Amino acid sequence: MGANMILAIDVGNTNITCGVYDGETLSATFRITTKFPRTSDEYGITLAEMMRMKGISTEQIEGTIVASVVPDVMHSLTGAIVRYMGSTPLIVGPGVKTGIRVVTENPRAIGADRIVDAVAAYEKYGGPALVLDFGTATTYDLVGRDGSFEARITAPGIRISAEAMWERTAMLSKIEIKKPKSILAQETLSSMQAGLFYGQIGQTEYIIRRVREESGYADMKVIATGGLGRIISDETDSIDIYDSALTLDGLRIIYEKNRKQEH
């Protein structure tokens, strides 16, 4: 592995997803849960140790880029990167060159992760494209033919919907989110799985169809990412591509655009 590697960090509401790039090659990935508060030293030691387990030392990291939707962790995480990686991270936000022009109202209100996904989708697959991210929320973001960020739809994620059922219904226990044997469920657990799984597919297919109709983009590519994206993608012809590394790739692309701008 090379000495000029990039650490890309996506801070989500559930997990902090990290990727180490050697050029354009994603050499290693790992995750840290977002739920627990940590000090700079705890973040730094965790990052360094996880990289070490993958055969990567902190000295090989040339630079770091972070996209975050959780402001509370940024002070400690930024401190950890400065102290343990030896560089100030590039944080995706206003003033950072992305190559994506946001034409919706209040561009600053759009989460950094959604901009990063849009950048990756456009750079890797071209436009027009609809980017689906099955995370804590399920998001649908429309990128136009010229790379403009044109529209966004936000729905509760599958886990949020499941947790709402568990919390509000005393008799229902927690279940694994997966495809049941049949939609014609005959007992409680599989009935919940059927509702969550097929309900998500129905929502997904309908929103894709409406976006295609209202945007007029008949040739729109549909790209999915996110933790539960694969099981949904496998069950519908409405999604063209499932790309598990979309967000991390977007971070690498933005890092490269800004590095070129500096030199």
Annotated catalytic residue 113: yes
User: Residue 230 CB: number of other CB atoms within 10 A?
Assistant: 15
Residue with tokens 């049949």: 182
Q: Which among 153, 199, 154, 203 is positioned nearest to 177, based on CA atoms?
A: 199
| Catalytic member of 10, 22, 72, 113 | 113
Q: Looking at this protein, which amino acid is placed at residue 62?
A: E
Q: Which residues contact 109 (CB under 8 A, 6 or more apart)?
A: none
The whole-angstrom separation of Cα 142 and Cα 123 is 14
Report the SS3 class of residue 107. Answer: helix
H/E stretch holding 143 reads strand 137-143
Are 47 and 80 within 8 A, CB to CB?
A: yes
The whole-angstrom separation of Cα 52 and Cα 22 is 15
The whole-angstrom separation of Cα 241 and Cα 261 is 31
Q: Which residues carry out catalysis?
A: 113
